Amino acid sequence: MSQEVRQLEPKVVWNKFADLNEVPRPSKKEERVIQFMLDFGNSLGLETFSDAVGNVIIRKQATAGMEDRKKITLQSHLDMVHQKNVDTDFDFDAEGIKMYIDNDWVKAKGTTLGADNGLGVATIMALLESTDIPHPFLEALFTIDEETGMTGAMGLEGGVLQGEILLNLDTEEDDELDIGCAGGIDITATRSYIQENGAGDSVGFLISVKDLQGGHSGMDIHKGLGNANKIMNRLIFNGMEKFELQVAEIDGGSLRNAIPRESFAKVAVKSSNKSAFEAEFAQWAQMIKSELSVNEPDLTISLELIETPEKVMQEDTQKMLIRALYTAHNGVYAMSAAIADLVETSNNIARVVVKEGAIRIGCLTRSSVNSAKMDLAIALKSAFQLAGCDVGMDGEYPGWNPNPDSTILKVLESKYEALFGTKPDVVACHAGLECGILGQNYPEMDMISFGPTIKGAHSPDERVSITSVQKYWKFVLEILKDIPKK
């Protein structure tokens, strides 16, 4: 399947992407891809090194006649989100991504594709390897752990980079030039609970919520997609209030930056309530599916009999937990007053695990306004504390303040209009880009972000447009020709 992808144009980019997709590269486990990049740079005879946290830097001198141009830092992240469909048999630690072509899209078989941010990495690799592309001094910065904490960007020390302009290749609409992004913070709520023996006259059920679209918890948060954890909590709350439902286990969601696609719960209901519960559950499920029918046409909500759980949550703790989760905000919290149609502040209830006496809830809160981010974070913390949880707030990273007077922005705007006959959209995004973090140690660096069109990032529906990659590559080559002089 990857051989078909290797034949696409521009081959220099698609071949590097295919090479990269043979290397397992989950966040926080990037040892293999770091070595892959070090070997690549060294094989070209270029200055190549990694810093203390594992970021890889490769430098290439300017081509003849371009020595007087400003130095460029090209930046993308090495890690990718590892997600797969529940029925996909795939080992991310041992297998390369299985790609295929579907009309104008490159997709993966039941897993994330890694176009986020593998196509940015592949683009930079193609430029470093080239012998016939004119360019100024190039400095490649390949960061680690962007998807689960941005610790690579945070760990990059000042004074390492030589570039005067940074081109971040990590946005997902090919007609956009990004000049700002949201910051974020992780909210983690934990507590223990007492397990009780289940009632002897009860029956067990497995509740399944699955086949949601999922997606990027920043870029897709405004699309009205279903959150499996919130749907599950709603079903459990209804059962708890009307039928004294008891929770044995909950396992919902996966990564903080991915909108949860699935949730599963083992519960118990008194035998005398079995038929009534099944009938009303069917009504609840149909009601929720009807509410989400436009945005989540494939949503599946099911109820099946299982062996009655031996242990369930203590009643008071269960009530506090389910009500806290009902209260906790999920989705868009505020829209920007400064930039039209931009989400300012949001939260993703990403992970809910209840098992063997332990509760763990994970959220990712984002905002382009730091005070608003902390306001929502404190609201979430308060809700979970009222349920008796210990709440940690960590992994905070700053947003990137837009600079509409940026010199490189003017270059890219002019070049885009000349190439494609229309003006690009100059935007800020609700995702977390590394520019804001890098700018703390490199405040004088002129930064901009752009990339090819990628849909469904952070989900197994991730796909990248073939024609968009062609457009984007042409744009990159023309940009490098017109970098301002020093």
* pLDDT tens digits for range 83-132: 898 889 999 999 999 999 999 999 999 999 999 999 999 999 999 999 99
> Helices in 248-360 by DSSP H: which ranges?
274-291, 315-327
Quote the DSSP letter at residue 156.
Answer: P
Q: Which helix (DSSP H) or strand (DSSP E) does residue 373 occupy? A: helix 370-386
**Beta-sheet strands, E only, within 68-200:** 72-77, 99-102, 105-108, 138-143, 165-168, 176-181, 183-192, 195-197
Burial (Cβ within 10 Å: 0-12, 13-18, ≥19) of residue 183: buried
Q: Where are the domains of the chain?
A: 2-181+399-481, 185-397
Strand-pair partners of 111: 84
> Helices in 192-292 by DSSP H: which ranges?
228-243, 274-291
Architecture category of domain 2-181+399-481 in CATH: 3-Layer(aba) Sandwich (3.40)
What is the crossing angle of helices 11-20 and 115-129, to 10°? Answer: 120
Token digits for 80? 């990718």
Can the peptide bond before residue 370 be classed as cis, meaning omega within 30 degrees of 0? no
d(CA 145, CA 255): 13
pLDDT for 68 equals 97
Catalytic residue set: 79, 146
The residues near 214 (Cβ < 8 Å, ≥ 6 apart) are 83, 225, 258, 259, 260, 261, 456, 458, 459, 460, 461
Quote the DSSP letter at residue 272.
Answer: G
d(CA 75, CA 434): 9
pTM of the complete model: 0.80
d(CA 28, CA 26): 6
CA 368 to chain centre: 17
Percent of the chain with pLDDT over 70: 100
**What residue has token string 């141009």?**
69
d(CA 65, CA 239): 72
Token digits for 437? 């973090």
Given a contact cutoff of 8 angstroms between Cβ atoms, the answer to whether 479 and 69 are in contact is no
pLDDT for 339 equals 83
Q: Are strands 263-270 and 246-253 parallel, antiparallel or unpaired?
A: antiparallel
pLDDT in tens, 249-262: 999 998 898 999 99
d(CA 160, CA 156): 8
Quote the DSSP letter at residue 163.
Answer: -
Q: What is the CATH code of the structural domain delimited by 185-397?
A: 3.30.70.360
Given a contact cutoff of 8 angstroms between Cβ atoms, the answer to whether 267 and 205 are in contact is yes
CA separation, residue 132 to residues 64, 128, 139, 384, 481 (Å): 11, 11, 17, 58, 12
Given a contact cutoff of 8 angstroms between Cβ atoms, the answer to whether 217 and 259 are in contact is yes
Q: Which residues of the chain have pLDDT under 70?
A: 1
pLDDT for 367 equals 95
What is the crossing angle of helices 115-129 and 31-43, to 10°? Answer: 20
